[in-house]
Amino acid sequence: MGKNKNRQFFDFSKNGTNKAQANCDWYKKQFPSIQFRYKDKYIDEQNAIWIQDSDIVMMGVDNHKTRKLASDWCSQLPNVTIISGGNNLTNGDVMLYMRRNSHDITPPLTNDCHPEIKYPQDRHPNEIGCDELVESVPQLLPMNLIVSSWMVCALDTILAIGDDISVNNVPFHIQYVDIRSGASRPVKRD
Amino acid sequence: MSELLQGNMITVISGANEESYNLEDLGRNPTVEEIASILADVMNINPNAKIRRRNPDKEIFGDMVDRNYRPVSGDEIEFIMEAGDKG
């Protein structure tokens, strides 16, 4: 059912339901006029093709291998937006990778500032055996909420700018947040 | 006199946080590695972080430096925080 079951809001009344399907079913009930589809597999080298030209990818994965995989796949697409959120216990970040007309307007997630993504040392979920016990690391709800909120803020800004988005007006390359100091800092890497 | 009092100020950045420090308070001509060790807990610095230097007055706008680099006045030293590994 997923190691983070106690942090999920959707309906678990159907025990054993795939998390993506359960989430999809919940959203369909809440927003019947919007089309939702789910994929019951982790994204990997074979199915990354699901991400297509002009897609916007809201990515909240918990491993750098998947981040690299998505970034590498998207680097081949003429137009794409990845909004990738991640956090530690009390700090986190939202990274943007955007391409327009086959040009990077923000750096890929695998840029030289982030060797942890460029050369990931962790494991893809498909590399973890079904019977392997995976310990769920503690997380704080406000940290999850603020990162997801910044992801939605980024999406809203990108949609508001629309087709005029460029290297000069992209809101940030990475937004850092810290819930202990109360600080947030947008960064554009030269 | 005010210029003398300002001393050798640098800015240290890690993730969302940035603070200004007088270089002399961080040691005798310290390296960035030594600065990271001193400020590790206060600024949540990863000892393996990549380090980036900006100094607009010297027209430096994002050079990566190694751990033995010794900051100069006006430097903005960022210890680049790794992407959060939880989702």
Q: Is B81 on the interface with A (CB under 8 A)?
A: yes
Under 8 Å CB-to-CB from A39, ≥6 apart: which residues? Answer: A20, A47, A50
User: Which residues of chain B neighbour A3 with C-beta distances below 8 Å?
Assistant: none
Amino acid A3: pLDDT: 57
Residue B87 contacts A where some CB pair is shorter than 8 Å: yes
Whole-structure pTM value: 0.90
Quote the ipTM score. 0.88
Q: Tell me what pLDDT residue A1 has.
A: 41
Tell me what pLDDT residue A18 has.
81
Test the B interface: residue of A110, A121, A181, A184 with most B CBs within 10 Å? A181
Test A91 with B83 for CB contact under 8 angstroms.
no
pLDDT the model gives residue A8:
60
pLDDT tens digits, A149-171: 999 999 999 999 999 999 999 99
Identify the band that residue B1 occupies on the pLDDT scale cut at 50, 70 and 90: very low
pLDDT one-digit tens code per residue, B11-25: 999 999 999 999 999
CB contact (8 A) between residue B83 and residue A147:
no
Residue A87 has pLDDT above 70, yes or no: yes
